[in-house]
Structure 1
Amino acid sequence: MSRPLRVALVAGEASGDILGAGLMQAIKARHPNAEFIGVGGPRMEAEGMKSYFPMERLAVMGLVEVLGRLFELLGRRRQLARDLIAVQPDLFIGIDAPDFNLDLEHRLRRAGIRTVHYVSPSVWAWRQKRVLKIREACDLMLTLFPFEAQFYEAHQVPVRFVGHPLADVIPLEADRTAARRTLDLPVNEPVIALLPGSRGGEVARLGELFLEAAARIRALRPGIRFLLPCATPERRQQLEQMLAGRDLPLTLYDGCSHEVLAACDAVLIASGTATLEALLYKRPMVVAYRVAPMTYRILKRLVKSPYISLPNLLAERMLVPELIQEAATPDALAQALVPLIDGGQIQTEGFDVIHRALRRNASQSAAEAVLGLVERLR
Structure 2
Amino acid sequence: MSRRLRIALVAGEASGDILGAGLMRELKRQYGEVEFIGVGGPLMAAEGLNSYFPMERLAVMGLVEVLGRLPELLARRKRLILSLIEARPDAFIGIDAPDFNLGVELRLRRAGIRTVHYVSPSVWAWRQKRVLKIREACDLMLTLFPFEAQFYVEHGVPVRFVGHPLADTIPLEADRQAARGELELPQDAPVVALMPGSRGGEVARLGGLFLDAAEQLLAERPELRFVLPCASPERRAQLEALLAGRDLPLILLDGRSHTALAACDAVLIASGTATLEALLYKRPMVVAYRLAPLTYRILRHLVKSPYVSLPNLLAQRLLVPELLQDAATPAALAATLLPLLDDGATQTAGFDAIHRTLRQDASCSAATAVLELVGAA
Judge conservation of contact 1:145–1:161 (CA < 8 Å) in 2. yes
Question: Could you tell me which residue of structure 2 aligns to residue 195 of structure 1?
Answer: 195
Shift of 1:264: 0.6
The residue correspondences of 1:204-283 to structure 2 (distance < 5 A) are: 204-283=204-283
Q: Deviations over 1:110-163 (max 9, x none)?
A: 455543222222333332221101111222100122222122122221111111
Q: List per-residue Cα deviations over 1:173-213 (Å, max 9, x = no partner).
A: 21211221222222111111122223333333322322222
Any conservation in 2 of the 1:195–1:268 contact (CA below 8 Å)? yes
Cα distance, 1:75–1:108 mapped onto 2, change above 3 Å: farther
Q: List per-residue Cα deviations over 1:324-367 (Å, max 9, x = no partner).
A: 11211222212211221222111111111111222211111012
Paired letter, 1:239: L
Give the match for residue 123 of structure 1: 123
Asked if structure 1 preserves the Cα contact closer than 8 Å seen for 2:58 and 2:73, the reply is no
Instruction: Provide the secondary structure at the position in 2 that maps to 1:252.
Output: strand
1:17-56 CA-to-partner distances (Å, cap 9, x unmatched) read 543443344334345875464255x765776665625389
- Mapped pair 1:345 → 2:341: no
- On the 8 A contact 1:102/1:137 being kept in 2, the answer is yes
Give, in whole Å, the separation in 2 of the partners of 1:107 and 1:43.
27
Give 1:318 deviation, angstroms. Answer: 0.9
Q: What is the distance in 1 between the residues matched to 2:66 and 2:238?
A: 24
Alignment map for 1:53-64 (pairs within 5 Å): 53-54=55-56, 57-60=59-62
Match of 1:85 in 2: 81
CA RMSD of aligned residues (A): 2.9
Pair 1:52 & 2:48 matched: no
Matched, 1:144 2:140: no
Give CA deviations for 1:1-31 in whole Å, capped at 9, x if unaligned. Answer: 988845322244x654543443344334345
| Matched AA of 2:9 | A
Residues 348 and 298 of structure 1, relative CA distance in 2, 3 Å threshold: same
The answer to whether the aligner puts 1:69 opposite 2:60 as a matched pair is: no
Which has the higher mean CA deviation after the structures are superposed, 146-155 or 233-242? Answer: 233-242
Task: Determine which structure has more spread, i.e. the larger CA radius of gyration.
Answer: 2
1-structure distance, mates of 2:37, 2:185: 40
DSSP 3-state at the match of 2:156: coil
SS of equivalent to 2:350:
helix
CA contact (8 A) 1:81 1:107 kept: no
TM-score (norm 2): 0.86
User: 1:286 maps to what in 2?
Assistant: 286
Using the TM superposition, name which of 250-259 and 347-356 deviates more: 250-259
Is contact 2:21–2:47 with CA below 8 Å preserved after alignment?
Answer: yes
More displaced 10-residue stretch of structure 1: 325-334 or 236-245 = 236-245
Alignment deviations for residues 302-327 of structure 1 (CA, whole Å, 9 cap, x no partner): 22221111111121211100011121
Secondary structure, aligned partner of 1:348:
helix
Residues 53 and 237 of structure 1: is their aligned pair in 2 closer, same or farther, counting only changes over 3 Å? farther
Cα distance in 1 for residues equivalent to 2:58 and 2:234:
10
2:172 is aligned to 172
Question: Between the two proteins, what is the percent identity of the paired residues?
Answer: 66
Q: Is the 8 A contact 1:81 1:104 kept in 2?
A: yes
SS in 2 for 1:286: strand
Does the 8 A contact of 1:226 with 1:250 survive in 2?
yes
Q: Structure 1: any 5+ residue segments left out of the alignment?
A: 61-65
- Tell whether the 8 Å contact from 1:172 to 1:281 is kept in structure 2 after alignment: yes
Count of residues in Structure 1 that have an aligned counterpart in Structure 2: 369
CA distance 1:102–1:198, change in 2 (3 Å): farther
Once residues 79 and 252 of structure 1 are traced to their aligned partners in structure 2, the CA distance between those partners, rounded to angstroms, is: 43
Q: Which moved more, 1:351-360 or 1:230-239?
A: 230-239
Q: Give the Cα–Cα distance (whole angstroms) in 1 for the partners of residues 117 and 239 of structure 2.
A: 33
